[in-house]
Structure formats: C-alpha cells, structure tokens
Chains A and B, each alone.
Chain A
Amino acid sequence: MTDNNLIKKLWQRPSIIIVTLLFLFLLVVPKIVTGYYLHAVILIIMYATLGTAWNWIGGFAGQMSLGNAVYFGLGAYATACSQLWWGWNPWLGLLLGIVLSGIVAFLIGLPCFRLKGHYFAIATMAVGEIVNIIFTNWDAAGGASGLYLTITESSLLNFQFASKVPYFYIVLVLLVLATAITIWLKNSRSGYYFRAIKEDPEAAKALGINLVNRKLMAIILSGTVSSVAGSFWINYMLFIDPPSAFLIMTSVQIALIAVMGGMGTVWGPIVGASIIIPLSEGSRMFLGGTGSGIDLVIYGLLIMLVAIYQPGGIVGAVNNYTKKRQSKKKATLKAVQEVSE
C-alpha cells in the first residue's frame, strides 16, 4: 500500500523521475562517449553551471548581468597566477578565486546596483571589457598571449588528470551543487526576497527589504560559483588567455543559456546549455573557419525568438503546458462528476 502510494506520488511528479534517470545516465556517460564528444559534454555541464549561477542574479533577482564572464575568468586566472607566481596548489588557487570574485562582485555591485534595467546590463558589460583590457596588458599575468599551467602528476590533489573522465565527474559535482543551491533558493526566504526585488522593487523597498544588501548577496553568490567553474576550466584546459576568459561573448552566452532555458527556473540553465553549446560547437565543427561567427548569428536569432514568443524560456513553456493540461483535466473531471450527480 505504502509502496503504491510512493509510486503514485512519483507518478504525479514526473520531474523527479526524469531528473533521477538523467542523473543516473550522466553517471555512465564517460562509458558511452569518449574523446571530443566527452569534451562537449563537459562543456555543456560547465556552461550549465555558469548559467545556473547567472540565474541567481539574473533570473531570480532580476538584475541582467552581462559581465558574469569576469568571475569565470578571475577564477581561472587566480588559479593559474597563484600557481605560477607562488607555486600554490590549484585547490588553494580555487579558494583564492572565490575570495577575489566575491570581492570583485561586491565592488561591481555597489555602484552598478544604483542603475536600473538596461543601464545595469550596460555597466556590467563595460566592467567585463575593462577587466579584459587590464589582463591583456598585464605582462606578469601572461598579457595577451595568456598563461599555461605547469603540468604535474595526475592526481586529485593536483587537480590534473591524464584522462577526461575525472574532469567530467568533478564538473558534474559542481553542477549538482549549483542546482541544489537553486532548489534551496527557490524555496527559501532569501529566494523570495530576490523574486520580490525582481517583481516590484518599489514595493519591496516600502516593506523594508534592504534592496542593496539582497542584490549584493545575489551577485556575490553568483560570482563565487562562476569563479569555481573558471578554476575548473583552467585545470581542464591548462591554458587561459584574456579572450577565452573575459570575452563579452562568453558573458552573453552565459546569460543566453539561462534566458533560453527559463529564467528563475531550476532546470532552465541545464536545458539551455544542452541546446546552445552543441549549437556553437556543431557550427564550429561543421563549418570550420569559414563559418566562424555563424554561432553568434544563431544566438542573435534565438534571443529574438525567445524574447518575442516565449519570455519564460523552454522550461517556462513546458510548465505552462503542463499546468494548462492539468487544469483541463480537473475541469473535465468536475464536469463528469456534475453530470453523474
């Protein structure tokens, strides 16, 4: 009986089954795909993590940051520089990246949160460009030609592995953690305050919600987790240069992933990354040098389509559909009952 109930309950919430199956599937992915395709999956998971982190500030708190690549790049550079300059362990570098990104997020947020809507987006974009230029001209940090990480023995302590498989599991853990934070946010007071700020900042202010503090919380959370993804990236690629760290396109891509998948939803960034990354990787693979930039054209188109037809993103659309179906079901059920009475 209780078993039946459990099955029934699960049946009513198919998302739990889907997510569990997906997760189990992901666990065995390295057994199925290898080489470049495993690299693509790692990219998808990493961008899903970055999109999830963007979702906190952009999707929940409603602050359209177009500078999230800054934190990603800082995480990567903190790990690389601390190793090259002081011989730090990459895990220590990861922590340094978290601290640095937190501070930078705070410093960006403090003045930029005085701006509203588009102006905030433009300001964060400008900050990204500033950081890009600083690192391009900073010779000690590799300048325009970038930095290579020293290759060490393959081990978890060194955060370096000969095979891609351990990287895959590490980034998967990161995504699971980030998604757990989103689930927590969605159901916690803090998450509701973020949403209140997004929905009606004036009312939130009148109720005594400390807008600046809450927004700073959101941006710091978003920045630190993005930074961890950056630290992962440098240890995986062993190379970083300013364009691959701070390019404005990376920021746009991160935001697009969350917007397309569904802002303010738990699974949106994962869905978004699963579509956008294969698109950009695919266009690069099949079109090669002649088609470079075609993925940007596709992004532009996607942004327009989402903005016009489905502002809730893909997950938003699916939610709407299931809700409609459920209410229809309820309505028919009620009608049947009334008739039988």
Chain B
Amino acid sequence: MLEIKDLVVSYGGVPALFGVSINVNDGEVVSVVGSNGAGKSTLLKAISGLMKPEGGEVVLDGKSIHNLKAHEIVKQGIVMVPEGRHLFGQMSIVQNLMMGAYQVTDKKVNADRLEKVYSIFPRIKEREKQLAGTLSGGEQQMVAIARGLMSEPRILMLDEPSLGLAPIMVKEMFRMIKDIKQTGVTILLVEQRLKDALILSDRAYVLQTGKIVMEGKGEEFMNSPEVRQAYLGL
C-alpha cells in the first residue's frame, strides 16, 4: 500500500537518509528500528510532508505523494504522531482531539470518531475537560495517538511512542498499539526499544546511519543471532 523508493533527505545539505526503500502492506505493523541519529524520525517527517525529500519517491496505492503538502498527505490517510507528543498544552483533551479531525466538519461524524477513540483509550475520556499540559507523560502519549486517530487514518505513523514513559506505561502503550492494529489501521512504528517493537510487528527494518541494513519478519529478527547480538544485547 505504501511504498518508499530510494528516499534521499538532507538537513541543509547534510544528508540524513541515503536512498531508503521500505514498503508497508495493508493491515501490517511495520517497525523501523535503529539507534539515535539513524534517520528514523527523518523518514517519518519525509513521508508526512514535513520535510521535502531531495530524491526518491513515496507512493501510496500507486500514486506518488511526496510532492504533496503536509495537510494534503493527511487527507490521503497518512498521519504522524510526532516524537515528544507535541500536545497543545493550553487546550483541554477533547479540544486537542478535535484538532486531529481537521478535515471533517460534520459534527456527528466527529462525535462517532470521538467515541471510537475513547473506547481504545478509556482513561482519557474520564479527563476530557482537563488541560493537556497537566497530564502525565503516559496519558499525554495516549492523547497524542488518539489525536492522530481522529482523522481516521489508513496509515498511522508513530514516532517513538515509548519515549520518556515509565516501564509499566511502556507495556501498556504497546498493548494499546496492538488494539489499534486490531481495528484495521496499518501502523508504521519507529522505535528504539527493539524488543517490544519486534514482538508487535509483522515486519521490521533496521536503519543505520541513513541506510536500511537489514529487513525481515519480526520473529525472524528476534531469533537472528546477529540482531540479538548487535542490537538487543542478548
């Protein structure tokens, strides 16, 4: 469904991705793992239109979308939940969520979506009137993901959802991502926590200094001695 071919992205002349190619099929959870500075976030930013790629292609269902603007890409059904949550701290939770439904003006549709999102994250429903800035890190991450889901994306891209969360929250977060997967949303996950990400994923790519160095099925990765040694420290 989503195909990235030879993507080249650079920050003011300094290249961050050198010809990255990945593909994501309908209904899959695909992880891109790798260490700090490997280019994981850059990849997501380029797909979501926040950065313009210098070369290569992003193709969604046979249509090339890398020349579209960020808001047009959301309209195509790809939404990114940015790293570090980026909530609107001075707005309430429910207002934050409504910001995610920019493309829809139908009140009834929005109310339905809100219900759906709350059914995945019941914890944030109890506090819907609370200011987003006053939530705990885990709750903020839930709101950030829920806000992304409000646009009913076909592909949800999560950038380090476990960043800065307490270990018990991390577990819960991955369980919720699994729930989201079950609703039929395709997920592209970027993570540093390899083990949790691989357990959840159908397929995975390893990104190292701007290049894909390995790809395969989630379990294969877990069992591959090279990966275990090099990345998991097992």
A residues near B, CB below 8 A? 189, 192-193, 195-196, 199-200, 202-211
Contact = CB atoms under 8 A, between A and B. Distances in A.
B11 interface: no
A207 B87 contact: no
Task: Give the secondary structure class of A's interface.
Answer: helix
B50 A207 contact: no
A298 to B, nearest CB: 31
B228 interface: no
B87 A203 contact: yes
B130 to A, nearest CB: 14
In this complex, the interface size class of chain B, counting residues with CB under 8 Å from chain A, is 20 to 34
A210 B147 CA distance: 16
A208 B50 contact: no
Interface in B44-99: 48, 50, 69-71, 73-75, 79-82, 86-91, 95, 98-99
A206 B48 contact: yes
A208 B74 contact: yes
15 contacts: A192-B91, A192-B98, A193-B99, A196-B91, A196-B99, A200-B88, A202-B50, A202-B82, A206-B48, A206-B81, A207-B74, A207-B99, A207-B148, A208-B71, A208-B73
Q: Which of B69, B80, B88 has the most CB of A within 10 A?
A: B88
B138 interface: no
Given A193-B99, A193-B102, A208-B79, A202 B74 contact: no
Q: Which of B48, B75, B86 has the most CB of A within 10 A?
A: B86
A200 B82 CA distance: 11
A234 to B, nearest CB: 39
B70 A205 contact: yes
Nearest to B159: A206
A169 to B, nearest CB: 37
Contacts of B148: 207
A277 to B, nearest CB: 30
B103 interface: yes
A285 B130 CA distance: 50
Given A204-B99, A208-B75, A199 B82 contact: no
A210 B88 contact: no
B100 interface: yes
B151 interface: yes
A209 B102 contact: yes
A211 B71 CA distance: 8
Interface of B: 48, 50, 69-71, 73-75, 79-82, 86-91, 95, 98-100, 102-103, 105, 147-148, 151
Given A192-B99, A208-B102, A199 B80 contact: no
Contacts of B86: 200, 202-203, 206
A227 B150 CA distance: 38
A211 B81 CA distance: 17
A206 B103 contact: no
B88 A196 contact: yes
A317 to B, nearest CB: 16
A209 B50 contact: no
Q: Which of B70, B79, B99 has the most CB of A within 10 A?
A: B99
B147 A207 contact: yes
Nearest to B99: A196
Contacts of B75: 208
Top 6 nearest A-B pairs by Cβ distance? A208-B74, A203-B86, A210-B71, A208-B71, A199-B88, A205-B70
Q: Which of A192, A193, A203, A207 has the most CB of B within 10 A?
A: A207
A199 B86 CA distance: 9
Contacts of A209: 71, 99, 102
Contacts of B103: 208
Contacts of A195: 88, 90-91
A206 B91 CA distance: 17
Contact of B151 (A199, A204, A208, A210): A208
A189 B110 CA distance: 12
Given A199-B89, A207-B100, 7 more contacts: A193-B102, A200-B86, A200-B88, A203-B82, A208-B71, A208-B75, A208-B79
B90 A199 contact: yes
Contacts of B79: 206-208
A196 B97 CA distance: 12
B194 to A, nearest CB: 25
Contacts of B48: 206
Contacts of B90: 195, 199
